[in-house]
Amino acid sequence: MVGDKKGSKELCMFPYQFSKFQVEFELREPDFHLIGTKFTIAQLQIQQPVVKICWLPPLAVKQKLRLWFLMRDLVRKFEKYLFENLGLSTHLTPWSKQKSLPYFLRDLYTMCEYQLLSQPCLVMAARDDEEVTPATIRKHIGQLQKSWDYEVLYLHPTISSYNRKRLIEQKISFVVPGNQMYLPTIGVDLREHIRNLRTASPKKFSPATQAVLLSILYDLPRDGVNPAQLAEKLGYTRMTLTRAFDEIEAAGLADVCMEWRERVLRYEGGRKHLWEKSLELMRTPVSKRIQVLTPCTNLPLIPAGESALASCSMLAQPPNPVYAVSNDAWKSMQQAEDLRELKIHEPGSIEIEIWKYPPELFARAGTVDPLSLYLSLKDTTDERVEIALDGLMEKFPW
């Protein structure tokens, strides 16, 4: 047996039975660690002797095994799902022609045969949890059908709502165990529940998510938008915007799909409909209101509150002007300007609203944008302001 040059234990390749799949994988003898859990050879139920000797880095071994454990669990869930919902006891067996397929298909899927109501069916089971586009799946099925004359079923642990819709439009059979089963050839479209991915629907949106929604309401390209594009426009990190996409998808407001390994957010409905659906999840952009007395008149402030509302309605200007700044801008102003905070308004004082996202992102006509303005004042009990807000929304160019 051949070991590595650093004197570590020999690395052996064993055949191993994974839920009816005969596979080969590598591991260090006598044990190894996988995702924080320790397994011994005996626990893994190795059934045959060593057939090949090779060396792989430990991380590669763990990754290989992680994917096979995911595959095993996915197949078990699929078999259980069919039995619980259709009363079918399925027995998946490896497809004999899999080794003749192009390498990229063998790398993406495990192919298995089974009988579905006495009809042969080929399961194209994804090897990991990364999504591919329905158009790509259609191409892969087309290649398989050169060697297979019957139904091909796509099996994946999670499929986004956008991709599910596209798969149904293209009449592609698919199963998401525990979630949805679409088998058009036998007239089955079972949707127990459409489970939103990654997160549960939030009670209120985060500031970054609200900024993404406002960006959609003001300007959304018809071909969608990805985190990289919004990061440049809104000034948030891609990670923050990825979480924002999760919140929007979880709330069922827009579709998020994978295109060329990049998440893309799409919304194809009307802007007014999106606004009405998201309104209950929106929050006021104002985190704090402060009364300030300052001798400076050239501060970088944007009219907000009743000052902004008065500029676009019949509402009278308030006695003390109202302006908006972001939290970062407020901190800079405190260090650079001679500001004095007040407990109550005094003659010549102004009111500063500290916003959770930069008010200049969507500013219009020299004031804060109308949708954010509405959100900042919608809880008012002043009838004059309520009437002016109603007029503001009626005039909005949906």
Lowest mean pLDDT across 142-146, 186-190, 231-235: 186-190
- Tally Cβ neighbours within 10 Å of residue 188: 15
Lowest mean pLDDT across 27-31, 154-158, 258-262, 378-382: 27-31
pLDDT at 154: 92
When computed from its CA atoms, the radius of gyration of the chain, rounded to whole angstroms, is: 29
Q: How many Cα atoms occupy the beta-carbon half-sphere of 96 within 13 Å?
A: 0
pLDDT at 12: 36
Enumerate helices (H) and strands (E) in the chain, giving the number of each. Answer: 12, 19
Sorted by where each starts, the structural domains of the chain and their CATH numbers stand as 71-191 (3.40.1350), 207-280 (1.10.10.10), 286-394 (no CATH)
CA 277 vs CA 86, 171, 174, 253, 384: distances in Å: 36, 30, 30, 7, 26
**Looking at residues 50-76, what average pLDDT do you find?**
54
Ranges of H-type helices in the chain: 58-86, 103-108, 134-144, 161-169, 207-218, 227-234, 238-250, 271-278, 305-310, 327-336, 370-377, 383-394
pLDDT at 67: 58
Beta-bridged to residue 182, according to DSSP, are 174, 189
Both tokens assigned to 92: 């998946």
Question: The whole model's pTM is what?
Answer: 0.53
Among the listed residues 176, 210, 207, 173, the one whose alpha carbon sits nearest the alpha carbon of residue 193: 176
DSSP 8-class letter at 184: G
Amino acid identity, position 10: E
Q: How far is the C-alpha of 378 from the C-alpha of 385, rounded, in Å?
A: 9
Both tokens assigned to 167: 């798969």
Q: How far is the C-alpha of 218 from the C-alpha of 237, rounded, in Å?
A: 21
Among the listed residues 263, 287, 271, the one whose alpha carbon sits nearest the alpha carbon of residue 204: 287
